[in-house]
Amino acid sequence: MLLLIGCILAIVAPPFVAWKPEYRLFSLPLYDWLQTHTIDIGETIHANVLASVLILSLPILIAIVLLPNGKTPRWRRYGAIGLIILLLSVLIITQSRGGYLSTCIACTFLITRRWPRVLWGLPFLLVLVGIIIYQIGPQIFLDELSPRGAIGGWTGRVDIWNASLQAITDFSFTGIGIGTFSYIIPLLYPLQVNIEDYPHAHNLFLQIGVNLGVPGLIAYVALLLNISAMLWQLLRRARFTADYPIVVGLCGSFIAMLVDGIFSSANWDTKLAFVPWLLIAAITVRFLATIQFKSSPQLSEEN
C-alpha cells in the first residue's frame, strides 16, 4: 500500500502541486509547463508535502534492487528500478531540501547494509562534508537549506522554533490544538516572518508538542522508540531470509521520515499525513508476523 500510494502520487500529483515560482535551486522549462497546466480543484499540494511522501517509498524500492536475495524475480527488480527513476525524478523537481537530505541519509544506510565495509569510510566522508561546509560558510549553508524567499532563511526558521518552544511551555498540558498554528502563534508570539503559507513549526517534534502538548509529544516519542525496537529485532531476525530487503527498506523509510522531520512537519498536519502511519503499521505487522512465525508450534517441533 505504501509503495502504491507513492507511485500513484508521483504520476498523478504534479498537475496539482503548487510549484515554487522563485527561490529555486535550479530552473527548468518543465516548471513553466507545469504551471500552465495546473489543474485547479480548489486545493493544491505543497511540493514539500509531496516530497515527504515520496521519501517513504523510495528506500523500499532501492533496498529491493540493492539487496537481492536470490529469490526475487528479475522482472520485479527491473520494475523497482523503473519506479525508482520515476519517484526520484519527481522528488528532484520538488526541490525539497529536506527530501534530498533524508533520501541521501536513508540511501547511506541501505548501502552500509549491502556493503558493511562502507562504514569504515563514513568518518572520512563526514570530515569531508564538514570541510566543505566550513569553506562555504555555516550561515550560508544553513540559509541554502532554508531559502530566504520561504520563511526568511535560517533566521526565520529559528524564530519559528523559538515561538513553538514558548507555545509548548505555555500550553504544556493541552497544546494549542491541531490546525491552529497559523492563528495562535502569530497572535501570542509575534514573528519576524509571515507563516500564512507555511502553517507549521518546521520540525516534526515541535509541531506535535505545539499541537498536542507535552503528553502527546511523550506518547509520540514512545511510539517511535517502540518502532525502533521492532526494526532492530527485525534486522537481526530477518538477516538471512527472503524478507530482508523489505525489512531494510522499511528501516530506511523510517530513517528518512525522522530526518525529514528535523526541518519539516509536512508529514504531520496535512491531508497526506496518513501515509507515515501506513509505514508504522507496515513495520508493526511485519514484526508481529515474524514473532508469530518464530513462536509457532510447528517450527518449535521441527527445531
Q: What one-character-per-residue DSSP string does 132-165 give?
A: HHHHH-HHHHHHHHS-HHHHSHHHHHHHHHHHHH
3-class secondary-structure state, position 46: strand
Q: Is residue 41 part of a domain?
A: yes
Q: Is residue 122 part of a domain?
A: no
pLDDT score of 70: 61
How many Å apart are CA 50 and CA 39, to the nearest integer?
16
Q: Is residue 123 part of a domain?
A: no
In a structure prediction context, what are the per-residue pLDDT tens digits for the chain, which is 303 residues long?
A: 788 888 888 888 888 887 766 556 667 777 777 777 777 766 778 888 899 999 999 999 999 998 876 666 777 888 889 999 999 999 998 888 889 999 999 999 999 998 888 888 888 888 998 898 888 877 777 766 665 555 666 777 888 899 999 999 999 999 999 888 888 888 888 887 777 666 788 899 999 999 999 999 999 999 999 999 999 999 988 777 778 899 999 999 999 999 999 888 878 878 888 999 999 999 999 999 887 766 655 544 444
Domain range for 187 is 2-117+128-302
Number of domains in the chain: 1
How many Å apart are CA 105 and CA 257, to the nearest integer?
11
- pTM (global) more than 0.85: yes
Q: Within the chain, how many helices (H) and strands (E) appear?
A: 14, 2
Q: Is residue 169 part of a domain?
A: yes
* Count, residues in the chain: 303
Q: Which residue has the cell 511551555?
A: 169
pLDDT score of 302: 47
DSSP 25: S
Q: How far is CA 28 from CA 13, 24, 48, 156, 273, in A?
A: 18, 10, 18, 27, 29
Q: Is residue 175 part of a domain?
A: yes
pLDDT score of 301: 45
First to last CA, the chain: 35
pLDDT score of 296: 56
Q: Is residue 233 part of a domain?
A: yes
